[in-house]
Amino acid sequence: MKEKKVKIINKAGLHARAAVPVVNLASKFSSTIQIIKDDSIVDAKSIMGLLLLAASCGTELLIRATGEDEELAIQELEQLFNSGFGEE
């Protein structure tokens, strides 16, 4: 199991359109990938889960991946979060 802390940096937060690339990227990996905010744990491959996190700008999240490609999954997801999903 691998874990990594990330922060939402784009202004609009992890909104519907920003969640699209997260789900698409997470779905490429065979590992189980969870996004954790406080007590809520959701599946990174589920857009509903991501939206229910209601993660606005500045929110700190924990990415947790378990499986064969956990290392790469964490690495690429971290990059996506740190890029602000390509938004300002």
Partner 1 sequence: MKQNNIILNGVAASAGVAVGKVFLLEEDVFSYSKSEITPDKIESEILRLENAIEKTREELESNKNELNKVLGKNYAKIADAHLLILKDSMIRDRVIDMIKKGNNVEYSVHKVVADLSKTFDLIDDEYFRERKHDLLNVAKKVLRNLLGKTKKTLSDLEEDSIIVAKNLTPADTVTMRENLVKGFVTEIGGKTSHTALVAQGLEIPAVVGLKDITHKVKQGMTIIVDGNLGLVILEPSEETIANYEREYEIQITNRRELEKLKDLPAVTLDGKEVVLGANIENSEEVKSALKHGANAIGLYRSEFMFLSRTTMPTEEEHFQSYSKVAKMMMPYDVIIRTIDLGGDKIAKLGLMDVAREENPFMGLRAIRFCLKYPEIFKAQLKGILRASVYGKLKIMYPMISRVSEIQEANKILEQAKKELIQEGKPFKNDIEVGVMIEVPSAAIISDLIAKEVDFLSIGTNDLIQYTMAVDRVNADVAHLYTPMHPAILRLLKQIIDSAHEAGKDVGMCGEMAGDPAYTIVLLGLGLDEFSMSAVQIPKVKKIIRTVTRQKAKNLVDNLLKCYTIKEFDTVMKKFKYM
Positions in the binding site for partner 1 (CB under 8 A)? 12-13, 15-17, 19-20, 23-24, 43, 45-49, 51-52, 54, 56, 88
Residue 75 near residue 29, CB atoms below 8 Å: no
State in angstroms the smallest separation of the CB of 42 from partner 1. 8
* β-strand partners of 43: 34
C-beta of 1 vs 57, nearer to partner 1: 57
Shortest distance in whole angstroms from residue 19 CB to partner 1: 7
Tell how strand 40-43 and strand 60-66 pair up: unpaired
